[in-house]
Amino acid sequence: MTVRRETTKRYTRMFQTIWMICFPLYVFDIALKSKLSNYVNPKYNWLVLGGCMALFVLGIVILVLKRWKGEPGGHDHSGGAFGLVFWTAIIYLPLVLGLVVGTGALSTRGARQSGMEVGITPTAASRAGEEAAGGETAGWNFEDWFYAVAGDPEPENYEGEKANIEGAVMSVPEVPDDCFILNRYLILCCAADAVPVGFPVRVKEGLRIPPDDTWVRVSGTMTADEIGGRRMVVLEADTVEEVEAPDDPYIY
């Protein structure tokens, strides 16, 4: 039993060392494909990549020095052979899921499950630490409009302003049948703290509302209206045009 246990410990440490090399390589591959922003706010990329580089170098050193073999009979707190195998499987799980499922942006399904509040709310405003853009509102993008309304949520202040913004279509029961939510995610640190934010869009008669998760460019006029018993900024759409999803779909 002792020989079997030592063999299990040795191979488990070897697989842990291999993970220390493979996981950083996986993250580097995501970064090279410009998909790291699906997980992390770009301003923290240096921290993620620096940590992965350190882990990669440590794994190489352990592999070269064969430290993964360990010392026979050495004391450990892993819970025996089963614990060693179990925790090794746990650390491999994200790597396997990433390779099998792939990388992708958050969908509107997650926004509905998280109980998204319709419109730009004071909660969103408390998270918005930037000033709104200047100039003509017709040239503002989704992020510019978000920070403007989050900083000054009075709907009447935007009455009649032209808008031309892109986002993902999301249907929610709180809005009328002729409306949908133009949705994006606000990320402060990483995808784990992503908050769905969006503008209600009212379409004119004859305009089709695309399926959920379809990326669209909406052109129209901002107005103040009441939806779900609350007065908010609503985009009255003149056109709804389907577009390709951007490489970086989030706002920061």
Nearest-angstrom CA–CA distance, 165 and 55:
41
* Residues 21, 22, 28: CA angle, nearest 5 degrees: 100
Q: Provide the CA 210 distance to its chain's centre, in angstroms.
A: 22
pLDDT of residue 6: 65
16-51 tens-digit pLDDT: 888 888 889 989 988 888 888 888 888 899 999 999
Strands (E), 60-211: 162-170, 179-186, 195-203
Low-confidence ranges of the chain (pLDDT < 70): 1-9, 66-85, 87, 101-136
Q: Provide the pLDDT for residue 109.
A: 64
Given a contact cutoff of 8 angstroms between Cβ atoms, the answer to whether 210 and 169 are in contact is yes
Joined tokens for residue 143: 């992020």
Q: Where are the beta strands (DSSP E) in the chain?
A: 162-170, 179-186, 195-203, 215-227, 230-242
- Residues 178 and 190: their CA atoms lie apart, in Å, by 34
CA nearest neighbour of 140 among 232, 246, 220, 40: 220
- Measured CA distances, 151 to 157, 165, 166 (Å): 12, 18, 20
Domains of the chain: 2-101 (no CATH), 108-242 (2.40.50.140)
